Amino acid sequence: MIKISLKRALGAMALSWLFAIHPSLATADTGETLESIYKMRTTAFGILGDYYMFSGLEGDSRYNREIESGIAQFEAQLANLTKEGTPTAKLQTMANALTHWQEYKKLLETNRSDFLAQGYANARLVDELGKSVISLNDSLKALYDGIQQDTQYPISELTQATRDMGLMISTITAEYAARSTSSLGQVMVININEGGMDGQGKKFGELLNTLKAQSKSEQRIFKIVDQIGVKWDFIAKSIANYNENAVPFIVNTYGDRITQNLETVGNHFTQSMQAKK
């Protein structure tokens, strides 16, 4: 406990020092940094879902391209956070996230290559891929939480709610892809949703109701939130009954659209909060 507390204290001191000598990081740049880390987390789970779609649909070229696109998006965000002179590049939590990304990417490429070469992937390595994304997400969460806690400019609670929902839908759709397209051996290793897909689905629904209540005064935003609800209602039953009439393509597609809509809503609440300062 003492070692953990000391690490947290040192991390907080490091961030405070960085914000002191780089005040821009504590203002607009902080918001952009947090948004980048959030997108990296959803992208990581999106790549996992695309891998299961790829392998479950016999090496489908569309999802092979989606994987490539996801890797490019993740690494573009990573490059911005680790380039020379960027305060986040000096953080140990950033170094940890980079290490976990490299491990995840290596496993992803190995499993994908194995599937293309022999028509199936090594079950043990697929297991490690699922565990690797959890480690990557945990390291990115530590980076995100550290920066958020130590800045004097917190993001909107409603923006954070949209991000929590975005992560939920990303993990739900990834697990659904695994369970509806993969072999039993692969399904057994999927453990990315706390409380299972049903539990995450209930939390998602609760946050969605909160967003609806908070956006009634903004017609454009309320309409987008309502569209999120329509999309969620459309796929929620399929997710709850993934063993019956599996529709992974629809769930994957609608999940992506929901994530995009949530980003739009989150950006609105961020801008509204900044306008009030």
DSSP 224-268: HHHHHHHHHHHHHHHHHTTTSS--HHHHHHHHHHHHHHHHHHHHH
Number of structural domains (the chain) is: 2
Q: What is the pLDDT of residue 8?
A: 45
Q: Which of 154, 180, 198 is the last residue of a domain?
A: 154
pLDDT reported for residue 185: 42
- The verdict on 159 and 147 lying in the same domain is no
Domain CATH code at residue 183: 1.20.1440
The per-residue pLDDT for 152 is 64
**Residue range of the domain that includes 10:** 1-154
Q: Does the structure show a pLDDT above 60 at 103?
A: yes
Q: Where are the alpha helices (DSSP H) in 119-156?
A: 123-150
pLDDT higher than threshold 50 for residue 2: no
* 234-243 pLDDT per residue, tens: 999 999 888 7
Q: Is the pLDDT of residue 136 over 70?
A: yes
What local confidence, expressed as pLDDT, does residue 25 receive?
46
pTM for the model: 0.87
Same structural domain for residues 188 and 262?
yes
9 has a pLDDT exceeding 50: no
Q: What is the pLDDT of residue 277?
A: 62
Greatest C-alpha distance within the chain: 58
| Residue 180: predicted pLDDT | 85
Nearest to 153 by CA among 261, 14, 276, 262: 276
What pLDDT was estimated at residue 129?
Answer: 93
CATH code, domain carrying 22: 1.20.120
pLDDT of 19 strictly over 90: no
1 has pLDDT over 70: no
The answer on 128 and 13 residing in a single domain is yes
